[in-house]
Amino acid sequence: MPQRMDVLRWGYRLGRDPRITTHLGLVARALGATGFLLTGDRDDDLFDNLQSVCQRFGGELETTHVPGLKHLKNHVQNGGVAVHLTMYGESYHDAIEKIPRDKHLLIVVGGAKVPAEVFKTCQFNVAVGNQPHSEVAALALFMDAWQGHKSTLREFPNAELSIQGTNDGKIVVENNSENTNEDV
């Protein structure tokens, strides 16, 4: 696996994108990203929400705002690999085998229109489909495939709460406690 895997949400717009960007952050965390980065508008509340999920359900996710192209170019110049998820890219089924696994991986997910320079700077422009679709779905499919379809087997240390899967209800376990909340 890579030394580090970050997700960069490109062109975040505070008035338009909070819900979808929160979902991107949740997917990034759940499927193994180290960091979740934003370009565009500042939104510390969004980062606070993601940190709250980490506190309750365990794991860690570094969150920060970065200067878009400058951060991307520095990442590539310092030996990292940048993968841009776009419906105009090469199929992820074909591209994933070509992407080095021993380098810091930065996954770029667009919001507002992505400048042509992003396409040129990223070493891989990858599509999970060549039709309009959700960037959340693209991120989840790519990250799951990157991890050999084992992303749901992750364990989250220091979780206050955990979910036990069941077919006919839900079981929420309060860790370090005798309490179990079962709703059937």
What percent of the chain has a predicted confidence (pLDDT) above 70? 93
**Predicted model pTM:** 0.90
Q: Is the confidence at residue 110, as pLDDT, over 60? A: yes
Give the full edge-to-edge strand order of the sheet including 5-12: 62-65, 35-40, 5-12, 105-110, 81-91, 124-127
The whole-number pLDDT of residue 2 equals 52
113 phi and psi angles, rounded to 5 deg: -50, 130
Q: How far is CA 76 from CA 11, 119, 150, in A?
A: 19, 13, 27
109 phi and psi angles, rounded to 5 deg: -125, 120
The whole-number pLDDT of residue 123 equals 98
Q: Are strands 170-174 and 161-164 parallel, antiparallel or unpaired?
A: antiparallel
Taking only the tens place, the pLDDT of each residue in 35-92 is 999 999 999 999 999 999 999 999 999 999 999 999 999 999 999 999 999 988 999 9
Unique residue bearing structure tokens 């992750």: 154
Mean of the per-residue pLDDT values of the chain: 90
The whole-number pLDDT of residue 177 equals 53
Taking only the tens place, the pLDDT of each residue in 130-147 is 888 899 999 999 999 998
Q: Give the 3-state DSSP-derived string for the chain, with helices as H, strands as E and coil as C.
A: CCCCEEEEEEEECCCCCHHHHHHHHHHHHHCCCCEEEEEECCCHHHHHHHHHHHHHHCCCCEEEECCHHHHHHHHHHCCCEEEEEEEEEEEHHHHCCCCCCCCCEEEEEECCCCCHHHHHHCCEEEECCCCCCCHHHHHHHHHHHHCCCCHHHCCCCCCCEEEECCCCCEEEEECCCCCEEEEC
The whole-number pLDDT of residue 29 equals 95
Query: Domains in the chain, ordered, with CATH?
Result: 5-146 (3.40.1280.10), 158-184 (no CATH)
Contact 126, 119 (CB under 8 A): no
Q: Is the confidence at residue 179, as pLDDT, over 50? A: no
